[in-house]
Amino acid sequence: MADRRSSEAIAVDYRAARAANDAAAMARFQNEEACVVLLSMLEALARDEGSFIHRVALKGGILMAGELGSPRASADVDATSGAQKRVDVDVVAREIVRAGRRFGIRLAGEPERTRGGHVVNLTFDSLTGRGIAKVEISVREDLVLAVRDAVIDLTSVGLSVFSVPAVAEVELVAEKLRCLNQRAQPRDLFDLRLYLVDSGWHLEPHDLRAAVEGKLATMRIKRWTPEAWRVHLAEIESLWEPTLLQWVAPDRLPAFAEAVREVDRRLRQLGLG
């Protein structure tokens, strides 16, 4: 897993990509910069025991980038407060701005309150000319298993090691399997491979099946079938490189066929193949 880089180091590569007119690389470095800014903001929030960050559970790309050193950058903080457990989004917004003061984080409009949760759109002082990020807290997600502590090590950019509440490992895997059944989004396969192959997580087959069945129940699907995650693979293949090269460096992006083989092999080992 790669260490995170400083905004200054990312900006050097961004300028080189701009000089080469490499649009995918430019987008990738802008997303990487946003990822570092958001992780630094999370470190500041985690130091405050009264912060909202201790009353939600992180998930998604920002958690992967921090906990697992995922090569896929993320410009969003995704979290869940649990089904119908709303947080005060105005308080959340104030805490975010305060925690991100080092990067000039500020609100891009009023916080949004939707049926699904809360969205806080952000801008920050960017060295790559973009400076856009987002925090989204879901209130529609029933968590099947208990929340855990995820350890995030940002010593590579001069910050401390910290922990934040996070969705359980098997539940993250189950959520990606559900997503693959519902949509053609290349990042879902990329993330699932990271969870299953690169993470080093010990996944208990019984717990994983329970989490999968819990996710399927929300879709009114009665049972898991080994083909469920393959529904949209043909479309994902066509989007694999065009989409992911804006988020993942070419030398860190596995070939699509390799990713499918590795996921398939690991699911078989876990009794879901």
Dihedral angle sign, alpha carbons of residues 273, 173, 148, 202: positive
**Pick from 111, 134, 167: which residue ends a domain?**
167
> Between the CA atoms of 37, 39, 40 and 44, what dihedral angle is there, to the nearest 10 degrees?
130
* Cross-strand pairs, 59: 78
Q: How far apart are CA 192 and CA 169, in angstroms?
A: 11
Tens digits of residue pLDDT in 136-156: 999 887 787 789 999 999 888
Q: Where among 112, 132, 167 does a domain terminate?
A: 167
Instruction: Tell me what pLDDT residue 207 has.
Output: 93
8 Å CB contact between 149 and 164: yes
Give yes or no: residues 156 and 173 share one domain: no
Q: Tell me, yes or no, whether 243 and 137 share the same domain.
A: no
Residues 77-94 have pLDDT tens digits of 999 987 667 789 999 999
Q: Are residues 144 and 244 in the same domain?
A: no
Q: What pLDDT score was predicted for residue 85?
A: 76
- Together in a domain, 55 and 72: yes
Distance between CA atoms of 43 and 159, rounded to whole angstroms? 8
pLDDT(47) > 60:
yes
The residue range of the domain holding 80 is 1-167
